[in-house]
Amino acid sequence: MPEVKQQKIMVLLSLTPNDKNVILNGIRLAEIFKKELCLCNLSKKEKQENEKIKIQVANYISPIKNELPSLKVSSLILSEAALILPEKLSDDYEAILVLAAASDFRKHSKSLTESSIPFLFVNEDRDQIPDYKKLILPMDWRSESSDSALWGANFGRFNRSGIVIVAANDSAKAEQNLVAKNVTLTRKLYRKLNIEHKVFKGSNSSFNNAFEALELAKTSGSDLMILLGSSHITPLDWLVGLPEKKILKQAGNLPILIVNPRKDNYILCD
Q: How much is the pTM?
A: 0.94
CATH number, domain with residue 149? 3.40.50.620
Residue 247 shares a structural domain with residue 157: yes
**Residue 46 domain-assigned (yes or no):** yes
Residue 118 shares a structural domain with residue 138: no
Q: SS3 for 184?
A: helix
**Residue 13 domain-assigned (yes or no):** yes
Residue 116 shares a structural domain with residue 160: no
Q: What is the pLDDT of residue 2?
A: 45
Mean pLDDT score across all residues of the chain: 92
Residue 98 shares a structural domain with residue 143: no
Residue 3: band (very low, low, confident or very high) from pLDDT cuts 50, 70, 90? low
The number of domains in the chain is 2
**Residue 2 domain-assigned (yes or no):** no
Mean pLDDT of 196-219: 96
Residue 49 shares a structural domain with residue 158: no
The sign of the torsion formed by the CA atoms of 83, 87, 92, 98 equals positive
Give residues with Cβ within 8 angstroms of 207, minimum separation 6.
Answer: none
Residue 188 shares a structural domain with residue 249: yes
Residue 71 shares a structural domain with residue 149: no
**Residue 232 domain-assigned (yes or no):** yes
Q: What is the pLDDT of residue 239?
A: 62
pLDDT exceeds cutoff 80 at 92: yes
Residue 153 shares a structural domain with residue 253: yes
Which residues on neighbouring strands pair with residue 52, listed in sequence order?
none
pLDDT digits (tens, 9 = 90+) for 237-269: 666 678 899 999 999 999 999 999 988 888 888
Domain that includes residue 250, residue range = 134-259
d(CA 123, CA 134): 17
Nearest alpha carbon to residue 17 among 51, 62, 60, 73? 60
Residue 109 shares a structural domain with residue 166: no
pLDDT digits (tens, 9 = 90+) for 6-25: 899 999 999 999 899 999 99
**Residue 227 domain-assigned (yes or no):** yes
